[in-house]
Amino acid sequence: MTSAALEANMRYGDRVNSPATRARRSLFLKYFFTLFVAVVVPLVLGAVSGAWFDYREQRVHLNELLQAEARSAADRIQTFIDGIRDQIGWVVQFPWTEDEDDPHKIDGERLLKQVPAIVSITLVDQTGAERAFVSRLGLNRVGRGMNLAEDPAVVGARANKVWYGPVLYRRDSEPYMVMAVAGNRAADGIAVADINLKLIWDVIAAIKIGDAGRAFVIDDSGRLIAHPDISLVLRGDAGSTAFNRLKSTIAAAHGSAVVTTGDEGKAVVAASVRAANVGWTVIAQQPVSEAFASIRAALWRALALIVVGALCAAALAYWLAHRLSGPIRQLEEGVHRIGAGQFDHRIRISSGDELEQLADSFNEMAEELTVSREKSERINRLKRFLAPQVAELVEQFDERMLEGQRREVVAIFGDLRDFTAFSAQAGPDVIMAVLSEYYEAIGAVVTRHEATLTGFGGDGVMVLVNAPIARPNPELRAIRLAIDMQAAVQSLILGWRAKGHAIGFGVGIAMGQAIVGTVGYEGRIDYTAIGNVVNLASRLCGAASDGQILLDSVVAEAVKDRIAVGSLGVRRVKGYDHPLQIFIVAPSHARQSHSQDRKAGRRVPAGDDEARRSSEPQFSERAWPA
């Protein structure tokens, strides 16, 4: 095992020794959630939906029940009032004559004996004069008394035969009502009776709605007329506000059952029916706690089932998680071993299910990782002299394209001017700092243009375009790459010169046929080009002054319609039998290309514009090699 693998194994050792607990805990939560959804959620949905439908059905049932009770009470009250009305009608059957008051008085006394609810009765003749008065509380009197012709009761009875007065409270406690009944003939006169309404309590007290439900009667003003608790009736106006609010709330629902706050401040379900003749309202109510007790009990039963379901889900989730912890332990240990570099590690699971299939896939992955590591090492070797994206392409298609072959390439050489003199004076740390900045800037430009950097040679670099991957318009790509190289290095030169380092940078470009391929020995292989074009590019670079980009005639002819170039004339170049036409990239075009990069949003190193302006080259400053 390698030292790196040992270090990784020590780093992951604590994980390998105790994976089961963490895996079991995670699986338990997942299984519990799944089983909870599968078991408990349906129970919850069933309970909620069942409660909702039960609630709706119960509301309908309560509405029918309460309205039936209220209607029954209203009918019984109406019967009670109608019975009194009919009894009063018997005392106005005979006409009035002079000096015959006693027979009418006797009729009145007989009426009070037959109808306990009548407190007193006044008999009025056809002229509106009082002729007899019989009372349970006061003195009886006979004979012509006060004139009641304008009394509302007399007027109402004459107009409608029967008149019901408003509910009043004697001594602000006992409710009573005035009822006037006219005879069939005007001569029969009118009987005006005071009726004690406490006797309606028997009717209301007989109504039972469940254990705590009840009914009561109120008038239009909200004053209580009859209630099972007679003490509330005897309080008079006390509590009329609460009763009136309750009546208004139910009236807004058109008498249907509503859930509201009752007269005691508790939630109730209430419905009402109006008594037709007297204009009273009978309200029947039942506490919500009692009305929906069956639904509440059903919800408690459902909650118990939900708790049992949750406990069952937890128990089953724990059992499943515990059963799977062993295979998961093997898988986790295998992952850590692979992470530590032990690609020969294999796991064995014989469960006959998806876990065994997962183990087989894991073993296949370990084998593929070995192949992938070898592939990655090859790509990393290619990236030493190729741009990353070019290295990926070479690995993807065929490494044979790196083998020796003849191809038309564009060779670019770059070299620092006066670097030898600088290195003789500067310290090692300064020299290495300058070279690091220089190589980093060159490498970034070459990578961006997807060119091939064959290597660094001291302060010089060699770049190939169109090899090993063929590119469209390689000469134009090479010019743009060289312009960006000059821009990047010139921005560095400004900083170097500020520190007192007199350094420049020149570039030479040539295009032609060359032999390209890898050379070297086991453990060290480089990609390079051999041929006349490489030598010519090197000579042009050596002749270029600081800031200059020199071209051969082939490149200049290919880019003259796209790049502004100038001719330096015919020059003799070392190693060539005849003089060659030499060209230079016009400084104005280099600045224009730099400006276009800015407009296109491409990154331009800081200080490039100033570097270009300060290093505009002269066409014949540098001596040519003999």
pLDDT of 429: 93
Assess if residue 443 is contained within a domain: yes
The predicted-structure confidence for 350-401, as pLDDT tens digits, reads as follows 777 777 788 788 888 877 777 777 667 666 666 565 556 556 656 665 666 6
User: Chain-wide mean pLDDT for the chain?
Assistant: 79
Assess if residue 555 is contained within a domain: yes
Assess if residue 263 is contained within a domain: no
The predicted-structure confidence for 415-437, as pLDDT tens digits, reads as follows 999 999 999 999 999 999 999 99
* Structural domain of 535: 388-614
Residue 454 belongs to a domain with what CATH number? 3.30.70.1230
Do 384 and 402 touch, CB atoms closer than 8 A? Answer: no
Burial string for 110-125 (b: 16+ CB within 10 Å, else e) reads: ebbeebebbbbbbbbb
Q: Is the peptide bond before 468 cis (omega within 30 degrees of 0)?
A: yes
Confidence of residue 112 (pLDDT cuts 50, 70, 90): confident
Do 553 and 581 touch, CB atoms closer than 8 A? Answer: yes
Do 485 and 612 touch, CB atoms closer than 8 A? Answer: no
- The total number of structural domains that make up the chain: 1
Task: Give the span between the Cα atoms of 532 and 416, in whole angstroms.
Answer: 23
Assess if residue 307 is contained within a domain: no
Do 312 and 39 touch, CB atoms closer than 8 A? Answer: yes
Amino acid at 356: E
pLDDT of 607: 43
Assess if residue 73 is contained within a domain: no
**Phi, psi at residue 190, to the nearest 5°?**
-135, 140
For 444-479, give the DSSP string.
HHHHHTT-EEEEEETTEEEEEESSSS--SSHHHHHH
Assess if residue 446 is contained within a domain: yes
Burial string for 570-597 (b: 16+ CB within 10 Å, else e) reads: ebebeeeeeeeebbbbbbebbbebbeeb
The predicted-structure confidence for 113-153, as pLDDT tens digits, reads as follows 888 888 889 898 888 888 889 988 888 888 888 888 888 88
Q: What angle do CA 106, 109, 112 make, to 5 degrees?
A: 155
State the residue for tokens 């391929």. Answer: 517
The predicted-structure confidence for 250-281, as pLDDT tens digits, reads as follows 777 776 788 888 777 788 888 888 877 777 88
The tokens describing 253, both together, are 């629902």
Q: Which of 52-66, 320-334, 477-491 has the highest mean pLDDT?
A: 477-491
Question: Is the pLDDT confidence value at 232 over 50?
Answer: yes
State the residue for tokens 């799977």. Answer: 324
pLDDT of 531: 92
Assess if residue 61 is contained within a domain: no
Assess if residue 533 is contained within a domain: yes
Do 207 and 227 touch, CB atoms closer than 8 A? Answer: no
Reference 258, options 72, 50, 73, 67; nearest CA is: 67
Burial string for 250-265 (b: 16+ CB within 10 Å, else e) reads: beeeebebbebebbee
Confidence of residue 62 (pLDDT cuts 50, 70, 90): confident
Task: Give the span between the Cα atoms of 205 and 212, in whole angstroms.
Answer: 12
